[in-house]
Amino acid sequence: MIYRETGQFKASYAADQAIFRLVEDRIGMGAILFLAFVVMPLVGSQYWLETIMLPFLIYSLAAIGLNLLTGYAGQLSLGTGGFMACGAFSAYKLATAFPDLHVLLVLVLAGSITAAVGILFGLPSLRIKGFYLAVATLAAQFFLLWLFNRVPWFTNYSSSGVISAPPLAIFGDIWVTGFEATPVAKYLFTLSLVSILALAAKNMTRLKIGRAWMAIRDMDIAAEIIGIRPMTTKLSAFAISSFYCGIAGALWAFVYTGAVEALAFEINVSFRVLFMIIIGGLGTICGSFMGAAFIVLLPIFLNNTLLALGLAEAVALASHLEAMIMGALIIFFLIVEPHGLARLWQILKEKLRRWPFPY
């Protein structure tokens, strides 16, 4: 009975396995990409491009990284900031030691170094889980930052502690880091990189490696008996997650702030990224973007609304409100909807459409 009608469904399996199975989703995605790649660079002010879109995109990348590890592979990490710092400092060392290295190579190598560091700090995950693992990754966070602060080699023996990222060009004289880089160049460069990496992450999560991660997350005993090796699976999650976080850290230092400093990657960054994936949705790539958008935009939105209302002391009030709203939302999502905004969006879509086929 199992052997029948081979091949007949091939075309439809390919369609069934497309990332966006529905026409509406494909149109929606096309529209978002058009807005992001064409409309935004044309109409976006410098404020929008540099102060809103850059941190949003870079945080999204870090959130994808953490989501691969925590949302998909089920390994809780509080070391995101440390891994981002590792990426930033690796990129700095590479770019200063080899000034001719292309910016893409700098980023990929920085990500790879961070991946190796991630594997190292992922080793405890082979023995411990959950809360204890979180504490172990917290140790990574503190150790890495301590290292970059204390060992002058990492800052090329600079006396000030704040060092500026060297200028790098994507082609010819189109600079994407340093003083000569235009907001549009920086934005488009970051956007392209984040889009490609997000697509790669999506592909991984729906293929072998992603299934192995989720299997280990959901039921490690059964996973092992199917032939999944817990060690390589967990360490691969640490490696790839750290690769993403490393590139995010390098982009943050080189493209967004232009300064390489450990201070930018303190523990609160780790928590921010964790909150992003909780609010956006554990185990979804698109949720990582939603969470990042929410957390980057919330303070800006609050500030502007309060200012528009003419409230004095708006800044202090906004930050209080921000903390309260975030706290409430995190509790809400943890208890009610662990799949976060991404899931709420999906439910909304399901209600909105009348699709004749259930699958």
Contacts with other proteins by CB under 8 A lie at 1-4, 6-7, 9-10, 13-14, 16-17, 200-201, 203-204, 207-209, 211-212, 214-215, 217-219, 221-229, 236, 283, 358-359
CA distance 215 to 196: 25
Minimum distance between the CB of residue 278 and other proteins, rounded to whole angstroms?
15
Helix (H) or strand (E) segment spanning residue 53 = none
Phi, psi of 331 (to 5 degrees): -65, -40
Helix (H) or strand (E) segment spanning residue 164 = strand 163-164
Tokens, residue 191: 């956007």
CA distance 49 to 46: 5
Tokens, residue 263: 């201070």
Degrees (nearest 5) of the Cα angle 260, 265, 268? 155
Let me know: does 173 contact 270? Beta carbons within 8 Å: no
271 by Cβ neighbours in 10 Å (0-12 / 13-18 / 19+) ranks as: middle
Degrees (nearest 5) of the Cα angle 88, 195, 52? 65
Among residues 271 and 349, whose Cβ is nearest to other proteins?
349
Let me know: does 76 contact 134? Beta carbons within 8 Å: yes
